[in-house]
Structure 1
Amino acid sequence: MFLFDTITDTNFNFPGQQSVYKGKVREVYGLENDVLVMIASDRLSAFDVVMPRGIPFKGQILNQIATKMMAATEDIVPNWLIATPDPNVAIGHNCEPFKVEMVIRGYMSGHAAREYKAGKRELCGVSIPEGMKENDKFPTPIITPATKAEMGDHDEDISRENILARGIVSKEDYEVLEKYTRALFERGTQLAAARGLILVDTKYEFGKTANGTIVLIDEIHTPDSSRYFYADGYEERQQKGEAQKQLSKEFVRQWLISNNFQGLEGQTVPEMTDEYILSVSERYIELYEQITGEEFEKADTNNILDRIEQNIEGWLTR
């Protein structure tokens, strides 16, 4: 018998509800008065594919890291957040999302390293120097945007020039997105360093409120949206050509790759046993505690959907 309930789907009907959007991980309920209710599910996405089983406490971990990080950056970039009435829930201002994810990379890791290894020396219109090794630091962090995918589709790399040429974002707005992305990455780097970590790369998503303000939305500096290295021993591992000790979702990707799955056509998701599911949950808890410096407190998962519904409705009718 599995020990914990997980959130893999919701079907709420809140007072004043006008819309529902289900992303790869989050479920977003649009209410009247331009209010959004965002529920972080326990779904696990890798290679733009949602895995068949949920991970206990994953949604709580992502939501709590994101809301803490929004509070730690709201002095430099405005964000959408109003309240967090439940461990898995964030409530904020309804925004029109920009249809690009602002990916910023301080080090050549993950997708960038795979592209480099395949012989590419340009990523999203940005030139990458010759002679770099995996996990080397870029001279200056590079912004490599991606188009936002619908559930089940793949995000795609796109250049700044292509974004502007296709009118996906106006030049004026894009310059703000770039400025905010660099400011957030600099702050995130400082926050990570205080925890003995290196913020390797991350992505930010932005939207525009009804009054035209550009704000940060969705998650920020979580292990799903970011990659962290342990600072201690980084240089030594690089010099020896060893793998870096990291905090991110990369361990899930590597497990999938080792089981012949990269989200390609014809590939099947490997079986995720109870033991493996719990091991992933434990890793996410480790990530939370390392990133925040706080002990993780597991929320009650008995009747988890009832708990969420009651806490949201309690906030709405306060």
Structure 2
Amino acid sequence: MAATYQFPKQTNFYKGKVRDVYTIADNTLVMIASNRISAFDVILPKPIPFKGQVLNQIAAHMLHATQDICKNWLLAVPAPNVSIGKKCTPFKIEMVVRGNLTGHAWRTYQSGKRSLCGIPLPEGMKENDFFPSPIITPSTKAAEGHDEDISKEAIIAQGLATEQEWQQLEKLTLALFARGKELAAKQGLILVDTKYEFGKIGNEIYLMDEIHTPDSSRYFYADGFEERQQKGEKQKQLSKEFVREWLIANHFMGKAGEVVPEMSEEWITTIQNRYIELYEKLIGAKFKPEPLSEAETFEKIVAALKEIGVY
């Protein structure tokens, strides 16, 4: 697909499921969070207004709030849905960390399996129960199609990370998750599970991409959590899982031959409102929609690239 913009010194363009990524001078990334929404690794047919701004601003907030734990790629946020940062050499794995038996982990557990990515799962757990301690269940970063679960042993055997790098990634992942849970708790939320992506510049590990957003994380409301668990009720959550549940209820899980259900305007507004609700709940501030034209966005990006010395 063609790029929306052409920047001076642009050396590459990549259109992801949700983001458009421009490489400038081979060392800087301009990441534009679109309003596209994906689930089960499929882009749904209609965009969600202001979703890109919500994701970008939550990610920037969370990267600033964790930079004492791990260096990260972010250099500037010149527009509501745009981040500029350092280009890293990525590890081709996603560090998925889970505090509760939810989503993919629960579906695996429900099928009778008691191991996920080589991690043993305790017997007698109910959906959404806390694990005794958070577990890391990595997945491979697929260029196309579905990401695949992978064990620590396979990551090292396949050369996706060395033993020493794995130990660093594991330590950083658990520290970031602990901080994420702490930040969420202050807002009356439980960070249930999330994923982190890391890369290297030279020998140094950097945190990349977005963190603690509704696209990469799942949150429960803390208030009433225990009561709902005891009664076997569904947890009240803020995440993209409600979109996945809607797709599953409409017989779509991204498998061959399945058709994406029709998205009504009412449903699009519902998704938009849920994203804004998560922003306001998580950040603790009112969401301010900032619509910008493509020309205004371009100007702001170029000005920021000049300011950080890329031009």
Contact 1:9 1:41 (8 Å CA) reproduced: no
Instruction: Tell me the residue number matched to 2:17.
Output: 24
Q: Which residue type is aligned with residue 124 of structure 1?
A: C
Residues 242-288 of structure 1: CA deviation (Å, up to 9, x unaligned): 00000100110011111110111110000112221121111110111
Alignment partners' CA distance in 2, 1:104 and 1:241: 24
Instruction: Tell me the residue number matched to 2:302.
Output: 313
**Does 1:188 find its partner at 2:177?**
no
Alignment partners' CA distance in 2, 1:294 and 1:185: 22
- Pairwise mapping of residues 248-287 of structure 1 onto structure 2 (< 5 A)? 248-287=239-278
Alignment partners' CA distance in 1, 2:198 and 2:296: 29
Q: Which residue type is aligned with residue 242 of structure 1?
A: E
Instruction: Tell me the residue number matched to 1:120.
Output: 113
Q: Which residue type is aligned with residue 34 of structure 2?
A: S
Residues 137-156 of structure 1: CA deviation (Å, up to 9, x unaligned): 000100000011224x1011
SS in 2 for 1:316: helix
Alignment partners' CA distance in 2, 1:43 and 1:50: 7
> Unaligned 5+ residue runs, structure 1?
1-7
Q: Which residue type is aligned with residue 316 of structure 1?
A: L
- Pairwise mapping of residues 102-251 of structure 1 onto structure 2 (< 5 A)? 102-151=95-144, 153-209=145-201, 211-251=202-242
SS in 1 for 2:78: strand
SS in 1 for 2:252: coil
Q: CA deviation at 1:11?
A: 2.1
Contact 1:164 1:171 (8 Å CA) reproduced: yes
Alignment partners' CA distance in 2, 1:57 and 1:287: 13
Q: CA deviation at 1:316?
A: 2.2
Q: Which moved more, 1:164-173 or 1:184-193?
A: 164-173
SS in 2 for 1:156: coil
Query: Measured at CA, do residues 90 and 237 of structure 1 come closer, stay the same or move farther in structure 2, by a change above 3 Å?
Result: same
Instruction: Tell me the residue number matched to 1:299.
Output: 290
SS in 2 for 1:24: coil
Query: Measured at CA, do residues 189 and 9 of structure 1 come closer, stay the same or move farther in structure 2, by a change above 3 Å?
Result: farther
Alignment partners' CA distance in 2, 1:154 and 1:9: 24
Query: Measured at CA, do residues 264 and 41 of structure 1 come closer, stay the same or move farther in structure 2, by a change above 3 Å?
Result: same
Q: Which moved more, 1:32-41 or 1:124-133?
A: 32-41
**Count of residues in Structure 1 that have an aligned counterpart in Structure 2:** 307
SS in 2 for 1:296: coil
> Unaligned 5+ residue runs, structure 2?
none
Q: Which moved more, 1:13-22 or 1:305-314?
A: 305-314
Alignment partners' CA distance in 2, 1:317 and 1:275: 42
Contact 1:23 1:150 (8 Å CA) reproduced: no
Q: Which moved more, 1:79-88 or 1:273-282?
A: 273-282
TM-score relative to the length of structure 2: 0.96
Q: Which moved more, 1:11-20 or 1:31-40?
A: 31-40
Residues 207-261 of structure 1: CA deviation (Å, up to 9, x unaligned): 111x321110001000110000100100000000000000100110011111110
Alignment partners' CA distance in 2, 1:273 and 1:33: 41
Q: Which residue type is aligned with residue 28 of structure 2?
A: V
Alignment partners' CA distance in 2, 1:178 and 1:306: 42
Alignment partners' CA distance in 1, 2:180 and 2:225: 18
Instruction: Tell me the residue number matched to 1:5.
Output: none
**Does 1:61 find its partner at 2:44?**
no
Residues 166-190 of structure 1: CA deviation (Å, up to 9, x unaligned): 1111111111111100000000010
> Residue 70 of structure 2: which of 72, 77, 85 is its match?
77
Alignment partners' CA distance in 2, 1:9 and 1:219: 23
Q: CA deviation at 1:131?
A: 0.5
Moved runs in structure 1, 4+ residues, more than 3 A? none
CA RMSD of aligned residues (A): 1.3
